[in-house]
Amino acid sequence: MTEHETQVSEFKSKSGVKRIYSAFFYSMEGFKSAWRSEHAFRQELMLAIPAAIVALLLPVPAVHKLVLIGVLVLVLIVELINSAIEAVVDRISFERHPLSKNAKDFGSAAVCLALLLAAASWAVIVLPLFLG
């Protein structure tokens, strides 16, 4: 291999429509796996679904509904990324290591920030409806 060539994984997807088709089914497998094996994802999804319905029913502008639902989706996205980080770390080794701990803690901190943003967004948009 020359200096300017890069290795490409044999698992790298193809291009074109087939790539889009495959990516969709890989995503569905990811959702199924997260549902089966990730307790936090299940809990957050079971909170996000009714909350999204509530957001749609609230007497607020459409952009506020989008924000309320968007922050819920953001929590799910960050949780999936956190789960992916944890899976990769565990794949490498179950042995305790400071860098493994950092990776997992960083992912957890990202989820925490997403949850705080969601809570703040809901508070700013929904509380005024009840307070006056």
Query: Which residues carry out catalysis?
Result: 79
Distance between CA atoms of residues 79 and 118, nearest Å: 13
Judged by phi (left if over 0) then psi (alpha if -120 to 50, else beta), residue 58 lies in beta
Do residues 69 and 55 make contact, with C-beta atoms less than 8 angstroms apart? yes
Question: If DSSP codes are grouped into helix, strand and coil, which group holds residue 75?
Answer: helix
Structure tokens, 107:
């992912």
Helix (H) or strand (E) run with residue 6 in it: none
Distance between CA atoms of residues 110 and 84, nearest Å: 13
